[in-house]
Amino acid sequence: MNKVENFYKLVQEAHEHQTRCSKAWLIGGDIIFVECKESAEIELEDAKEDMKLSQELIAGVSRYGTIIDTANIKSITKEARDWYSQVQNDNPHNICVALVVNSFYTRIIANFFLGFSNSRTEMKIFNIKDEAIEWLYDKLKNS
């Protein structure tokens, strides 16, 4: 079984956690997979709730990677983007973030996060989720 097949198998076996705007799974003990809910309109309180859930999922984990599927985002406020970025930059345990996009709009949102040159977390945008999964596994293996 290759990395991508294994990932999807683990997603099926993992417990799904939900916030108002997203679903999240802890995969293999070192990957957080986040999928935005249909027509998600993310505000600051949603961003705080999402990051609180992520922190709970990785409590006690020394290093991990994150895949965020942004395909269903309808909107995200500037305050929420700023919160995500600040918390992301403050977390030395998150090795890498793969952002999966499917439209011009979600690419603009993803590019906002890549604009932080001082980030200690490596981030990359992908159009294809399977490529994001492979990249994330490689980053975790080599870090």
pLDDT per residue as tens digits for the range 59-110 = 989 999 999 999 888 888 989 988 887 776 667 888 998 999 988 777 777 7
The answer to whether residues 23 and 17 touch, using CB atoms and an 8 Å cutoff, is yes
Structural domains of the chain in order of their starting residue, each with its CATH number: 3-141 (3.30.750.24)
CA angle 2, 120, 51 (to 5 degrees): 75
Q: What DSSP string describes 96-107? A: EEEEE--SHHHH
Placement of tokens 């935005």 in the chain:
36
Residue 58: C-alpha distances to residues 37, 84, 109 (Å): 21, 16, 25
| Residue 117's pLDDT band (cuts 50, 70, 90) | very low
pLDDT per residue as tens digits for the range 43-64 = 999 999 999 999 899 998 999 9
Contacts of 8 (CB under 8 A, 6+ apart): none
Mean pLDDT value across residues 126-131: 96
Q: Strand, helix or coil at 47? A: helix
Q: Which pLDDT score is estimated for 105?
A: 74
**Burial (Cβ within 10 Å: 0-12, 13-18, ≥19) of residue 19:** buried
Q: Which pLDDT score is estimated for 103?
A: 84
